[in-house]
């Protein structure tokens, strides 16, 4: 688990710097490790003025010694978790003063959830400017119980979905429709996520103008 964390933290470090993650309490208490994990799995939230574009990184040791900086990092963590619907009961209090047991349980959940937020595929909409194109995404329920998927659309407003939830009967497949109506003569993209609990699927969609 710590190797997985270390890989993502060091991937996000500038200038080839390395940080060893050796415990599940002190090394996680400033929020920089969590932010790095989230940034590597949700890169679209690191661009421009998005949530993960402003966190204080692991190599900024002097800044991370300040309570207000640690708190700021943890606010970002909580906001991203809420946005992705994977908050798992995390609070500012238990993130800033973690116990080994709490962190291990929290990290096990992130270890399962975060890889599912990486887009599985890309769907291209080859559109004419101003025209609407529809494409369907297949959602599957392999279980013996009915499920309801919550759907989130992130990115360009050129894309529209019909609703923010969809219900599936046991062992069924249904089609979820995405509309794309390009308004500008440039390619844009959106990330669509659907899931229930820790089971999530993420897909990227892009428009390519004819």
Higher pLDDT, 183 or 81: 81
Burial (CB count within 10 angstroms: exposed 0-12, middle 13-18, buried 19+), residue 14: exposed
Asked if 178 contacts 154 with a C-beta cutoff of 8 angstroms, the reply is no
Query: Residue 45 and residue 9: Cα distance in Å, rounded?
Result: 16
Predicted confidence (pLDDT) at residue 200 exceeds the cutoff of 80: no
State how beta strands 159-161 and 172-180 pair: antiparallel
Q: What pLDDT band is residue 199 in, cutting at 50, 70 and 90?
A: very low
Output the pLDDT for position 193: 56
Of 206, 199, 174, which Cα lies nearest the Cα of 112? 199
pLDDT band at 65 (very low <50, low <70, confident <90, very high): very high
Spatial separation of the C-alpha atoms in residues 141 and 174, rounded to whole Å = 9
- Compute the half-sphere exposure of residue 163: CA atoms within 13 Å on the CB side of its CA: 8
pTM (predicted TM-score):
0.73
Contacts of 203 by beta carbon, 8 Å cutoff, 6+ apart: 119, 120, 121, 122, 123, 137, 191, 192, 193
Q: How does the average pLDDT of the chain come out, rounded?
A: 83
Domains of the chain: 2-115 (1.10.418.10), 122-209 (2.60.40.2310)
Tokens of residue 12, six digits: 């996000």
To the nearest 10 degrees (0 to 180), the angle between helices 67-83 and 32-41 is 30
Cβ atoms of 152 and 171 closer than 8 Å: no
pLDDT digits (tens, 9 = 90+) for 92-147: 999 999 899 999 999 999 998 888 887 777 788 887 888 898 888 888 888 899 98
Which single residue is written with the structure tokens 């978790």?
Answer: 81
């Amino acid at each position: 688990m710590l190797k997985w964390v270390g890989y993502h933290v060091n991937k996000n470090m500038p200038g080839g710097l390395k940080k060893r993650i050796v415990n599940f309490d002190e090394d996680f208490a400033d929020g920089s490790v969590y932010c790095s994990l989230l940034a590597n799995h949700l890169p679209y939230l690191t661009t421009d003025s998005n949530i993960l574009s402003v966190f204080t990184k692991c190599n900024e040791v002097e800044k991370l010694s300040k309570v207000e900086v640690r708190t700021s990092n943890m606010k970002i963590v909580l906001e991203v978790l809420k946005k992705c619907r994977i908050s798992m009961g995390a609070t500012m209090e238990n993130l800033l003063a973690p116990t080994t047991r709490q962190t291990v349980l929290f990290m096990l959940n992130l270890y399962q959830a975060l890889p599912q937020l990486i887009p599985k595929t890309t769907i291209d909409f080859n559109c004419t400017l101003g025209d609407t194109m529809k494409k369907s995404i297949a959602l599957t329920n392999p279980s013996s119980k009915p499920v309801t998927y919550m759907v989130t659309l992130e990115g360009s407003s050129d894309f529209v979905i019909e609703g923010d939830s969809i219900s599936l009967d046991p062992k069924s497949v249904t089609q979820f429709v995405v509309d794309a109506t390009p308004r500008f003569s440039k390619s844009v993209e959106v990330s669509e996520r659907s899931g229930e609990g820790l089971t999530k699927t993420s897909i990227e969609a892009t428009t390519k103008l004819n």
